[in-house]
Amino acid sequence: MSSATSAMGSAERERAKASSAKASAEREGRTLDVRHLGLVPYAEALALQRSLVDERRAGHIGDTLLLLEHPHVITLGVRGDGGRSHLLASSETLAARGVEVHETGRGGDITYHGPGQLVGYPIIDLKPDRCDVHRYVRDLEGVLIRTASDYGIDAGRVEGLTGVWVGNEKLAAIGVRIARWITSHGFALNVTSDLDFFKLIVPCGIADRGVTSLSRLVGRPIDMAEVATRTAEHLANALFFNNLHS
């Protein structure tokens, strides 16, 4: 290799480093707007996400995190039949228990949401320095692992599966949508969830594993607002925001 070629390669590497450092600095200067919405019907939250994605893409709003709970609902993903084959309950049973069924437009299989579960929908522009779907999903898993650790729970990942696990049981589910690097959908962390509702489905299409919750694992009730605050802080740290606005 000639000295000129070597110098050119070094210059390109330095430019790449400078660009990465600049992008990181710009992201570190951003504020994450956190909206605590309480109990929100699924269809309403879906419409809100779509509206906010359009606003974020147009630059009318900054990066935003929606934190909320849903009334009882079963949601379907976009792969294959969306998880319909993993719906175990009849329409009559679902109606009797007040459970709706919705298609979502996110990745993943069938999932249950309900009161006592913290749902997070980040509406974030991953450009220019975080355009990596797998990295983003791993970041969300890391956020929830750290939240669980705040309560003394040793949660982790399972190779080949998405989400956060404690032993053989799933503590949190993740299903995202990324369109032109704007994120939507996100995660669902079981805090004080009524786990009996998961018996209506094969959660995430995984038949040989169970589900659990923070309150079940620690043996006491856990304050949802506290969990939401901790999760927002961990997400801001993971995605390099240094300001939170609620």
By annotation, the residues acting in catalysis are 204
Residue 163 neighbours by CB under 8 Å, 6+ apart: 141, 170, 171, 172, 173, 174, 204
| Burial (Cβ within 10 Å: 0-12, 13-18, ≥19) of residue 23 | middle
In the chain, the largest separation of any two C-alpha atoms, in whole Å, equals 76
Q: In b/e form, how buried is each residue of 128-138, taking b as 16+ CB within 10 angstroms? A: ebbeeeeebbe
